């Protein structure tokens, strides 16, 4: 992996991989965390409208070329970033990159179809809210925080979406879609000189000397249990605990702990909730260490009459986890590190996934090498250190219940 620069200052993360396909990801630190109150959903709307046409191509032509050139392509807005990414045959990399560059450098944001696109996003919002797991997470974030952007749905709300004007779209684009706010990753067997020349040739975004990064905002959670209702069968429970105050080493300790706590069928959560008491089909814990998010989650689905029992047993497992002794021996930590490494490498075997992570790690942290290093040296941690991190994280969780309407 090499970190390079285009002529206009765009950061390029180049990784050589022997293959007939090339994957690339164009990332901007222009996600939902850049939005102000009243703008919620604007970053996602810009992502939609960027594909509506350029000075050279209509929306119809754009869609046709995507189908002809790409084996896979997509775009996504997250809280910390927005990305545009895809995979082509290596011989077609220049064609694919030129297409994306034209879309991102020369959008016209035509008035024709703008209102219809906002309606499309409102329909997407309805589908988003129909997903009970997503609804539970959104309610959990809303109830756990007071002021930060994270507490509101990432794609906004219908009132905001319908109020956006083309000027709002263009202003957001002009402010955040700049060369010094962009990172591009390419996973390919093409020579690095050729990759840099292609990127420099087509991705001629302006370098805004007055641009300032928006700092990610964090907030301590509001501890407690919250309940919402939805037209569903069964119930959903999710826990949340912030991890934004943890150091990189403490995050590694939490990752090691999570292997035995909530990952897989031999985990502490699975053993008690699923195997021993049969309260849930699936129970898990996970870490989201993205910029502006940084949360530890626990989640499960269960029957409504098992809600109290399920929460009781999850809390018991948390209590047991805070008092573990003799679990994290050096030999066990070595096995945990190897297990995490193979899972990580299997995930990154897909070149598009690797491209996505390299560019977003650069945008969020300025350290694309962390894609590989975040599981490194876990075997050097001590059990006491790991348990202290666990106590710091799990002492005051927020709990969200979503149950059927009466």
CATH code of residue 197: 3.30.830.10
Q: pTM of this prediction?
A: 0.94
248 and 181 assigned to the same domain: no
166 and 18 assigned to the same domain: yes
DSSP-assigned beta bridge partners for residue 14: 2, 186
Between strands 224-230 and 398-404, the pairing is: parallel
60 and 185 assigned to the same domain: yes
CA atoms of 288 and 240, how far apart (whole Å): 11
214 assigned to some structural domain = no
Q: Is the pLDDT reported for residue 209 higher than 80?
A: no
129 and 276 assigned to the same domain: no
The position carrying tokens 């879609």 is 177
Rounded CA Rg of the chain? 23
**N residues, the chain:** 406
157 assigned to some structural domain = yes
59 and 178 assigned to the same domain: yes
63 and 171 assigned to the same domain: yes
50 and 130 assigned to the same domain: yes
Q: In what order do the strands lie in the sheet with 182-188?
A: 2-5, 11-16, 182-188, 21-28, 82-89, 70-77
Q: Which of 149, 172, 202 delimits the end of a domain?
A: 202
pLDDT tens-digit map of 119-139: 999 999 998 888 999 999 999
6 assigned to some structural domain = yes
If you average pLDDT over every residue of the chain, what do you get? 95
What pLDDT does 129 receive?
85
- Domain extent, residue 106, equals 2-202
217 assigned to some structural domain = no
What pLDDT does 113 receive?
86
DSSP-assigned beta bridge partners for residue 4: 12
CB distance 251 to 229 below 8 Å: no
- Beta strands (DSSP E) in 127-277 are 182-188, 224-230, 235-242
Q: Binning pLDDT at 50, 70 and 90, where does residue 244 land?
A: very high
pLDDT tens-digit map of 351-380: 999 999 999 999 999 999 999 888 888 989
216 assigned to some structural domain = no
What pLDDT does 67 receive?
97
Q: Which residues contact 240 (CB under 8 A, 6 or more apart)?
A: 140, 141, 144, 221, 295, 296, 297, 397, 398, 399, 400
CA atoms of 103 and 171, how far apart (whole Å): 17
The position carrying tokens 């989650």 is 297
189 and 60 assigned to the same domain: yes
pLDDT tens-digit map of 35-72: 988 899 999 999 999 999 999 999 999 999 999 999 99
CA atoms of 194 and 321, how far apart (whole Å): 52
CB distance 143 to 398 below 8 Å: yes
Task: Determine the longest span between alpha carbons in the chain, in angstroms.
Answer: 66
Q: Is the pLDDT reported for residue 74 higher than 90?
A: yes
Number of structural domains found in the chain: 2
173 and 243 assigned to the same domain: no
pLDDT tens-digit map of 80-93: 999 999 999 999 99
359 and 249 assigned to the same domain: yes
Helix (H), strand (E) at residue 400: strand 398-404
339 and 392 assigned to the same domain: yes
CA atoms of 116 and 46, how far apart (whole Å): 14
Looking at the chain, the whole-number percentage of residues with pLDDT higher than 70 is 100
Q: Binning pLDDT at 50, 70 and 90, where does residue 264 land?
A: confident
Token output for 157: 């709300």
239 and 375 assigned to the same domain: yes
């Amino acid at each position: 992996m090499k970190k390079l620069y285009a002529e206009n200052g765009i950061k390029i993360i180049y990784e050589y991989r022997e293959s007939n396909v090339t994957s690339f990801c164009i990332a901007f630190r222009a996600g939902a965390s850049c939005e102000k109150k009243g703008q919620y959903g604007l970053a996602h709307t810009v992502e939609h409208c960027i594909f509506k046409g350029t000075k050279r191509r209509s929306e119809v032509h754009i869609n046709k070329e995507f189908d002809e050139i790409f084996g896979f392509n997509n775009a996504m807005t997250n809280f910390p970033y927005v990305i545009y990414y895809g995979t082509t045959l290596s011989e077609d990399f220049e064609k694919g990159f030129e297409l994306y560059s034209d879309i991102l450098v020369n959008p016209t944001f035509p008035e024709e179809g703008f209102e219809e696109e906002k309606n499309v996003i409102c329909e997407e919002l309805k589908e988003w809210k129909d997903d009970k797991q997503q609804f539970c997470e959104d309610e959990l974030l809303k109830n756990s925080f007071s002021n930060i952007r994270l507490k509101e749905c990432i794609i906004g709300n219908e009132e905001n979406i319908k109020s956006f004007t083309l000027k709002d779209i263009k202003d957001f684009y002009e402010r955040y879609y700049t060369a010094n706010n962009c990172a591009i990753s390419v996973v390919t067997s093409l020579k690095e000189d050729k990759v840099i020349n292609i990127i420099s040739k087509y991705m001629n975004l302006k370098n805004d000397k007055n641009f300032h990064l928006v700092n990610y905002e964090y907030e301590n959670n509001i501890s407690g249990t919250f309940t919402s209702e939805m037209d569903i069968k069964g119930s959903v429970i999710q826990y949340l605990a912030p991890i934004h105050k943890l150091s990189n080493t403490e995050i590694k300790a939490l990752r090691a702990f999570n292997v035995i706590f909530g990952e897989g069928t031999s985990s502490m959560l699975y053993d008690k909730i699923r195997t021993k008491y049969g309260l849930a089909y699936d129970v898990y814990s996970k870490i989201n260490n993205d910029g502006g998010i940084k949360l530890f989650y626990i989640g499960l689905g269960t029957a409504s009459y098992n809600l109290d029992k399920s929460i009781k047993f999850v809390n018991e497992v948390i209590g047991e986890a805070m008092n573990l002794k003799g679990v994290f021996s050096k030999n066990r930590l070595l096995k945990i590190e190897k297990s995490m490494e193979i899972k990580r490498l299997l995930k990154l075997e897909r070149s598009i996934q690797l491209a996505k992570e390299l560019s977003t790690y650069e945008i969020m942290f300025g350290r694309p090498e962390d894609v590989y290093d975040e599981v490194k040296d876990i075997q050097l941690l001590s059990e006491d250190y790991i348990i202290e991190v666990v106590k710091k994280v799990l002492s005051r969780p927020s709990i969200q219940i979503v149950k059927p309407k009466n």
